Amino acid sequence: MDQETENISRETRTAGVYVQTVSVRYEMPIYFTEGVFEPANRVLRDVLCRHEAKVHRCLVFVDDGLARARPGLCEQIRAYAACHGDRMALVADPIPVPGGERIKSELHFVETMQRSLFEHHIDRHSFVIAIGGGAVLDAVGLVAATTHRGVRHIRIPTTVLSQNDSGVGVKNGVNLYGQKNFVGTFSPPFAVLNDLDFALSLDERDKIAGMAEAVKVALIRDAEFFEWLARHCDRLAVFDRDAMAFMIRRCAELHMHQIAFGGDPFETGSARPLDFGHWSAHKLETMTNYHLRHGEAVAIGIALDARYSVLAGLLEKGSDERICALLEHLGFRLWHPVLEKKSDQGRFAVIDGLRDFQEHLGGALTITLLAGIGSGMEVNEMDETRIEASIAWLKARQIP
Over residues 262-298, the pLDDT tens digits come to 767 777 766 677 889 999 999 999 999 999 999 999 9
- The count of C-alpha atoms lying within 13 angstroms of the C-alpha of 23, restricted to the half-sphere facing its C-beta, is 1
Give the tens place of pLDDT for each residue, 178-214. 888 889 999 999 999 999 999 999 999 999 999 999 9
- Separation of alpha carbons 370 and 302, rounded Å: 10
pLDDT at 400 over 70: no
Cα separation, 51 vs 298, in Å, equals 38
Q: What is the pLDDT of residues 99-157, one digit of tens each?
A: 988 999 889 999 999 999 999 999 999 999 999 999 999 999 999 999 999 999 999 99
Query: What would the pLDDT profile of 56-112 be if each residue is shown by its tens digit?
Result: 999 999 999 999 999 999 999 999 999 999 999 999 999 999 998 899 988 999 999
Does the domain spanning 204-255+271-396 belong to CATH 3.40.50.300? Answer: no
Gap between the Cα atoms of 194 and 158, Å rounded: 7
Strand-strand pairing, 367-372 and 375-379: antiparallel
Q: Please say whether the beta carbons of 216 and 273 come within 8 A.
A: no
Cα–chain center distance at 333: 21
List, for residues 5-20, the tens digit of each pLDDT value.
565 555 555 567 788 8
pLDDT beyond 90 at 312: yes
Amino acid at 191: A
Task: Residue 154: name the closest of 48, 38, 33 by CA.
Answer: 48
| Topology at the third CATH level for domain 30-200 | Rossmann fold (3.40.50)
Residues of the chain with CATH 3.40.50.1970: 30-200
With H, G, I as helix, E, B as strand and everything else as coil, classify residue 270: coil
pLDDT at 275: 87
Residue 177 · residue 107 · CB < 8 Å: no
Burial class (CB in 10 A: 0-12, 13-18, 19+), 254: buried
Q: What is the pTM of this model?
A: 0.88
- Residue extent(s) of CATH 1.20.1090.10 domains in the chain: 204-255+271-396
- Say how far apart CA 49 and CA 397 lie, in whole Å: 54
| pLDDT digits 0-9 by tens, 8-65 | 555 555 567 788 888 888 889 999 999 999 999 999 999 999 999 999 999 999 999 9
Q: What is the pLDDT of residue 9?
A: 57
Phi, psi torsion values for 184, nearest 5 degrees: -175, 180
* Residue 274 DSSP code: G
Residue 143 and residue 110 in contact, taking contact as beta carbons nearer than 8 Å: yes
Is the Cβ–Cβ distance between 366 and 270 less than 8 Å?
yes
At residue 267, the pLDDT reads 72
Percent of the chain predicted with pLDDT > 90: 77
For residue 386, give Cα distances in angstroms to 49, 213, 347, 382, 394: 54, 24, 13, 8, 12
CA angle 350/139/108 to nearest 5° reads: 95
